[in-house]
Every structure is written in C-alpha cells, then in structure tokens.
Structure 1
Amino acid sequence: MFWKTYLTYVSAMKKRLQSLLILIISLFYSTSSFASAEGEVDSLIQKLSLEEKVGQLLLVGFRGFGVSEEVETAIRDYHVGSVIYFDYDVVTKSRRRNIRSSHQLRLLSEDLQAISNLPLFISVDEEGGKVSRLKSRYGFSKKPSPAELGHKFQWQVRRSAEKLATELIDHGINVNFAPLADVNTNPYNPVIGSLGRSFSEDPKEVEDYCRSFIEGQNKAGVISVLKHFPGHGSSRGDSHEGLVDVSQTWSEKELIPFQNLIASGDADMIMTAHIYNRNLDIKYPATLSKRTIQGLLRNQLGFEGVIISDDMNMGAISKHYGMREAIALSLNAGVDILLFGNNLVYDKNIAAKAHGIVVDLVKKGTVPLARINESLKRVLLLKKKSGIL
C-alpha cells in the first residue's frame, strides 16, 4: 500500500514538474520573441523621419471604391499608417463610399497596401447587427448583433466572431472596432442599448462574451478593439452629436470588463469614448483627459497596448474644441492613434491638415517627440505582433 501511494505521488509530481518546465520554456521563448520584436521596432523607429512617425499615428477615412488621389496622397505624402472603410457616406447620404462588392473590396485593400511603405492597419466597424459595413446587400454574410450573441453559448460566440473575422481578413481588413465592452446599464441609451450593441447588463457576462469574441477574431488573424473606455453604456445622449455627460449615470462596474480583459492579456487595442465624467476629470472628456487615459487606463489598470481615439470628427469633440487643441490634448493625454473618420463631415485634405498640426506641435514643443516615439513604438509592436509588419 505504501509503495503504491509513493509511486502515485512520484507520478503526480513528475507530471507537475513537466508542466512547470513547459511553462518556463514557453515563457522564455515568449520573452525572447518579444525582445527580438522590440529590438527590430526600435531600429526601425531610429530610421524614420518625424513626418513618417507622425503618419503612423493617424487613421483616416476617405471616399472611393478604388485608390483615389485623396487616399494615395494621404499614404504616400503624409505616411498615414491606418485607414477605415465605410459603406455609407453620411454627408452625401449615399452608398458611394468604400464598399460595393467582395471583389472590389479585396482589390481596394491590396492596392492600398501596395502603395504604402509600411503595412497599413485597414479597419472597419463590424460589430454585427445594426453596426455592419460588410452588408448582405454587397454579397457578405449577415452577422448577429452583440445583444443577440449575449443569449448564446460562449463557443457559439467564438465561432460567430471567427466567421466574421475570416470574412474581414479575406478582404484585407486586419482591424475590427469590436467588441463593445460597454455594459448595458441603460437599455434606452440611444447609441448603445437601444441599438443592440451591448452583450449584457452584467459586467462579468460582458467580459466573458468579449473574451470569446476576441478569441474568435484572433484565430482568424484580426486585431480586436475594445470600446468605449471608460464605458459608454449609461449615457443618455449621442456623442456623435455633442458632448455627453455621464457623471450622474456612470458607475465603476463599467470598468470591470476592461479591467479583467487587460489583466488576462486579451486587450491589444482600446478605443476611448468622447464622454464627460466629472468624477474622473472635472475638465475634459475621456479622449482628451490625461487623468482618464494615463492615470486610470495606463497606471491603474495597467494597459500597455495601443489606445485609439473615437472619431475626432464627432460632435462631442469638434463642436467644443478646435482641431489643433483637440489633437494636442489627446496626444498629451496618452492617445496613440488619432481617428478621423472623415464621414460625419468630409474634408479631402484631412490627412494633410492633421499631419501638419501634429508635426508643428512637436516642432514647437507642445507635444514632446518622446510622446510621439512612445505611441509609435506601441503601434509598430502591434503591427509586428499581429504579423502585419
């Protein structure tokens, strides 16, 4: 009996030691791989001009089913590192924007990558449900909304997200502004709850569904973007139209999905919300707030990935701040990529204007060069990690 117990103990210990050894080896190679990628990125950064560095921190929208002069200039002359696709042009109220068919979209992505010196982030809002750019009318699959997925099993969410992301990657789209980590605390919210964009009113369920969605997208090779930090679920207004104050409705439980997904290493990129919350910052909305981005997201929650702004053309920013002021505040607050959807309002020279402003802010010392390099390193490391670079 003694020997049997002893042998069982030795066998169990052997298995534990083997598991520990595998873990140590995997951590070693993971650390070694990261160090190698970091070295390559550092070397690349040293070779880039200020103008090239700034371009990598800009994401712009454009008009055209093909490579127009507008977007070619943005990429070639202003080194823009990221673009976003829409299927509907808000200003002209027409479907003549970027997406017409599967074949057309695939060619567009290939042609855009071909004219860029550094590989592009090609992005889209493909949440499913009412927020879908690759619609069935263009020959793409119909995707369930987050609210619908919130009633499914986790494996079904993973499978749905993988299918969605496979369609994206097959058309050259490598970044999806999904899933939403917004907790459905206000089901009548005009931009979240009422549109079926939240998984659940339970923050833990939101966390679990987000993780499953991310796992599905990761499997297909698409970068997930969690949004909208620090939580847009309680709002009563639409930040597309103007500044939204959530000081009386927001609660700390809205941080739970973000906090836990960061802790588990599932968050590669996070989008900020243009919401104002005097409990977090008495002066600025989240996208422009150093207290919210650097203090809360970076320091308290420990997020080390890429932070991207919500659309800087939205009324919450554009109606209350000048373009130069908003850019300076957001970069100094800790935003890594500035998103100009160029759809709510349209300016064919948006890339040139944003680029010129950032370069001038750096040259005048308003935004330190170190701040630019810091963001640039995060962006390039993510491109490297995801196999884009």
Structure 2
Amino acid sequence: MRKLLSLGVPLLLLPLFIHALSLERLAGGVLMVGFVGTEAPPGSPICRAIRRYGLGGVILFDRHPSRKGIAKNIRSPKQLKRLTRELRSCAPEGRLLIAVDQEGGVVQRLGKRQGFHGDTPRPAVVAKRGRDSARKIYDRMGEELAAAGIDYNLAPVVDLALNPLNRVIVGWGRSYGKDPATVTRYASIFIDEMHRHGVLTALKHFPGHGSSTGDTHKGFVDVTQQWRPVELEPYRRLIASGRADSVMVAHLFNRRLDPRFPASLSARTVRGLLRQKLGYRGLVITDDLQMGAIARHYSLEETIRLALNAGDDLLLFGNQLDPKRIVSPARLVETIVALVKEGKVSRTRLERAAKRVRELTKQGR
C-alpha cells in the first residue's frame, strides 16, 4: 500500500486522519504564507507557526518587500538549501509545500545575483527555440529547484498571448504564444521536466489572463469584453493529459462567468467552470489574496469566506506586496476557525480542502 509522503498514513485512511484533526490544524493546513527570514531555527516565528498549525505551505521570495537590497528569504544556494531543510524539520513529519515562482524571464526567484543560474529565458523566447532546447532549459531549472529543497513551482503560465496591450503577461513575455496547441506543448515540457526532479507545478492564471489589459496586483481588472473561451483550452488539454498537479485561479472579474465575484472568489468559476465543466479534481490554489484586486475590495474575513466557499483549497498570502498588509498565520487561522464556528464555512468544506493539500504533498519530493 502506498504511503503518504513523510506522513506514515495509509492512503485509504487519509479521510479519517483529516476528520480527526483539530479545527485549528485543519485551518492551518489550507494556508500557504510568506514570511521574512533567511533562516528558520526552531524558535523562529515561522517555525513555531508551522509546528503549531500544520501549515500547508510557505512561499519564498528573493526581494524584501520594503527594504531595498535586502533578501527576504533567498540569499544564496547554500543558504536556501539550509532554509528549506530547517522549514521542513519544523513541519509535522516533514509535510510542507515549499513554493517559489520560477517561470523564467522576469519572474524567477532563484536569480543570478544570488548565485543561481538565473538566466532561464522567458516563455515567449523558449517557444521560439524549439522543444529540445525547452527540455534542456527546464531540466536544469528543475534540477536547481530540487537541489535547493523547493518542491512546488508556481508555474507554468498557460495564458494565451491574445492582447498586445497586456503588459503583465504578453509584454513581459510570460506566455508561450497565442495558439493553444503551442502553449500546451511547451507547458507540458515544463511540467514533465519539473516532475523528473520531483517538483510540483501550478497552471496559471485560470481562467485566462492573456486577454486582459490591467494588472490584478494593482487593482480591479474586468475582462468581460476581452476574455475568450479559447483561453480555457490549455487547461482542458493539460487536465485531460493528467499533468495538472494544481491550478492557480486569478482575481480577474468576468461578468459573463460571474456577475458578482472575481474568479478566485467565485463558486461559478471554480466549482462550476473548472471542476464541473472541465472535470478537474485536483488542488486549486489562489493567486496571492493580498493583491489589490482583492485586498482593496474585500475584508480579510470576506476574502477567506468567499475563497473557501468558492472551492479553493490552498489560500495564498504572500506577505510581499504591501508591508502595511502583512498578516500572521495566527490571525489567518483564527479567522478560519471563527468562520467555521459561526457556520459561514462548513467543516466538511475545510476537510475536503485540507485533504487535497495533503494529497498534493504526497506527490512531491
């Protein structure tokens, strides 16, 4: 019988194991948080939070959110390897997702200035070089991530490059192109090479960011007029191929999909479109819930309530975008616990989300 990675819990007994968890640890298990620190000794705040709440994961960044030139989590290969080892030793029997955004191009946290390869081309360039080159590029990336102790890469981008005025995806070359077949082909290579090194991946940004004009980091982005159903095609194909470890849902608002809520907070989008129409059964992770598109319009309690009830499984709070909005794991856990006790989120929904997080964890390193 297959065992869950680092848990010693037989797969068939996982639902019983989840059901027996305290509400506090269930809440912690659906959270991925960012923190400041290049080390995580036993007495550090992040280590204590991981141990007490059983956090689902942490996300690491190179740059400090408010202190220019200072490392937030990533300073060098040797330091990062030590940090990930310390983080995992804080977790119950080593069960912890350790994530970064390592796409290539402008988005790569393991950069040259920290002593990593750091010269991975942006996806738009990779697609022009051909499949053999792509395999070599992503093989090296996967090897470097695994050596550093990273087991979850929040990539690849599978947005279609449909809007030439789109700066954050198209302008930065983060898309493999406008053709769904091309995007699927290179995203598949990316995923396969990550998997060869035991690194999990996340398809993003569902249901498609390539037709937008605005940037959800900064505020509300309405794609009702621009978004096209063809943007779902890479997700459809990658889900059908069995390559979708997880799907990251964006904060885009599309009145045609949901007249009230942005995708990340929308049951119509997550449970309806992604799960029912596309048949996806795996883990759904939110984009950073501290982005302007969410944080400027919803309170923390509203955000968490809507995200969980929409069907999101892993809630991402990067503590990276605004030093004034840093939120502690304790506050996040307390908020979720209160929502369950008040009947605003069901324990069953929380258990289902925590189960998916643990199932993803077992697939990694």
Interval of TM-score (by shorter of Structure 1 and Structure 2) = over 0.9
Q: Answer whether contact 1:336 1:375 (CA < 8 A) is retained.
A: yes
Alignment of 1:1-389 (within 5 A): 38-67=11-40, 69-118=44-93, 119-141=95-117, 142-346=119-323, 349-386=327-364, 388=365
- Decide which moves more: 85-94 or 110-119: 85-94
Cα distance 1:161–1:319, how it changes in 2: closer, same or farther (>3 A)?
Answer: same
CA distance in 2, matches of 1:105, 1:61: 15
Q: How many residues align?
A: 354
How far 1:177 moved relative to its partner?
0.7
Deviations 1:122-158 (A, max 9, x none): 0000000110110011110121111111112223222
How far 1:304 moved relative to its partner?
0.6
SS at match of 2:183: helix
Q: Answer whether contact 2:216 2:292 (CA < 8 A) is retained.
A: yes
Deviations 1:159-202 (A, max 9, x none): 32121011011111000011001000013312101111000111
SS at match of 1:344: coil
TM-score (norm 1): 0.88
- Decide which moves more: 368-377 or 75-84: 75-84
Q: Percent identity?
A: 44
Q: Answer whether contact 1:109 1:172 (CA < 8 A) is retained.
A: yes
- Decide which moves more: 45-54 or 203-212: 45-54
Report the residue type matching 2:329 in the other structure: A
Q: Answer whether contact 2:160 2:210 (CA < 8 A) is retained.
A: yes
Higher Cα Rg, which structure: 1
SS at match of 1:383: helix
Report the residue type matching 2:347 in the other structure: L
CA distance in 1, matches of 2:281, 2:28: 21
TM-score (norm 2): 0.93
Q: Answer whether contact 1:160 1:216 (CA < 8 A) is retained.
A: no
CA distance in 2, matches of 1:314, 1:94: 23
How far 1:204 moved relative to its partner?
1.3
Q: Answer whether contact 1:155 1:212 (CA < 8 A) is retained.
A: no
Deviations 1:245-279 (A, max 9, x none): 01111100100000111111110100001000001
SS at match of 1:294: helix
In the alignment, structure 1 segments of 5+ residues that lack a partner are 1-28, 31-35
Q: Answer whether contact 1:165 1:222 (CA < 8 A) is retained.
A: yes
**Which of structure 1's runs of 4+ aligned residues deviate more than 4 A?**
none
Q: CA RMSD in A?
A: 1.6
SS at match of 1:59: strand
How far 1:81 moved relative to its partner?
1.9
